[in-house]
Amino acid sequence: MTTWDKGVYKYDGKTITNYTVKDDNKDVQLVSMYKDNLGNLWLGTSEKWNI
């Protein structure tokens, strides 16, 4: 799950893990998420990054 200002959360059935992205100690806002056919997770950010 992505959030506007708290990064991405991953739930593996037991544990919730939070991942955030910072650029020069500034939080980067995640605005979209896409999983491709190979299982890769692509994240779009407010800074026009694709992670």
Rg (CA), the chain: 11
The verdict on residue 21 lying in a domain is: yes
Q: Please state the three-class secondary structure of the chain as a single string.
A: CECCCCCEEEECCCCEEEECCEECCEECCEEEEEECCCCCEEEEECCCCEC
Q: Over its length of 51 residues, how does the chain's per-residue pLDDT go in tens digits? A: 666 667 788 889 999 998 876 666 566 677 788 889 998 888 887 766 555
The verdict on residue 2 lying in a domain is: no
**This prediction's pTM:** 0.53
The verdict on residue 3 lying in a domain is: no
The verdict on residue 31 lying in a domain is: yes
The whole domain housing 30 covers 8-45
The verdict on residue 51 lying in a domain is: no
The domain total for the chain is 1
The verdict on residue 1 lying in a domain is: no
